[in-house]
Amino acid sequence: MINKVVSGAAEAIRDIADGSTVMLGGFGLCGIPENCISALVSKGVKDLTCISNNAGVDDFGIGLMLHRHQVKKMIASYVGENAEFERQLLSGELEVELIPQGTLATRCLAAGYGMPAIFTPAGVGTEVAEGKEVRNFNGKDYLMEYAFDADFAIVKAWKGDTAGNLIYRSTSRNFNPVMAMAGRITIAEVEELVPAGALDPDQVHTPGVYVHRIFQGSGYEKRIEQRTVRPKN
């Protein structure tokens, strides 16, 4: 098996340069590549175009990069949890493209499936449709949306093996599998790295062919945005 293992986050992101387009997996703060985000902050790389469903919160996730003005353009579907983001957006410091969540996911999927574009009804008749080709199928209008072209995709998985196969845990799966398929170079950080052969092939979510670099992360904070509980009686 081809060995995809790198020493850690710093080596994994070594060639992410100013101006790169980077996809980051996760939904809210769930399933985000914490180690690689820290490494990007330490490296100080800037003018990034980031594609991610959300933009983190003020002091965690992509919010850490926004705070240091490392992001030139953000492509996301929902950014409501980040006041600094909203401030930079309304003041014009940050370029933002808001796109429907299903469109975001499916443009990743298209890239990973080798399809140049998709047709979706999401956004028809709204400002999302401006400048886009509309096609009518069976009496209903659809927008043509292009597959993403990202220099890098950074994803977080629960387990991975040295061949790059990935297994996600619970709803931290979210965007990670589709983004893993969509990067020209895909970097995976995992909570547990095992030798090839230790994962059941039937249980693999992302086949290793999509993953170029993998490492075992450390110190996961896994911050909870909305801690909702019911009392034990």
Q: Is 103 in the site for another protein (CB under 8 A)?
A: yes
Q: Is 69 in the site for another protein (CB under 8 A)?
A: no
Determine which helix (DSSP H) or strand (DSSP E) holds 177, and give its type and residue range.
helix 176-180
* Chain centre to alpha carbon of residue 184: 13
* Nearest-approach distance from CB 163 to another protein, in angstroms: 21
| Interacting span for another protein (CB under 8 A) from 33-41, 58-66, 126-134, 159-167 | 126-134
* One character per residue 106-125, x = contact with another protein (rule: CB under 8 A): x-xx----------xxxxxx
Residue 193's Cβ-side half-sphere holds a number of Cα atoms within 13 Å equal to 20
Q: Is 216 in the site for another protein (CB under 8 A)?
A: no
Which tokens in the block code for residue 89? Answer: 């957006």
Laid out side by side, the sheet with 134-137 consists of: 117-120, 140-146, 134-137
> Which one of 137, 200, 202, 227 is in contact with another protein (CB under 8 A)?
227
* One character per residue 151-180, x = contact with another protein (rule: CB under 8 A): -------x----------xxxxxxxxxx--
Residue ranges of alpha helices (H) inside 49-128 are 62-67, 83-90, 101-113
Nearer to another protein, 14 or 222 (CB): 222
* Nearest-approach distance from CB 15 to another protein, in angstroms: 27
Nearer to another protein, 21 or 174 (CB): 174
Answer for the pair 16, 40: CB distance below 8 angstroms, yes or no. yes
For residues 152 and 29, what is the distance between their CA atoms, to the nearest angstrom? 20
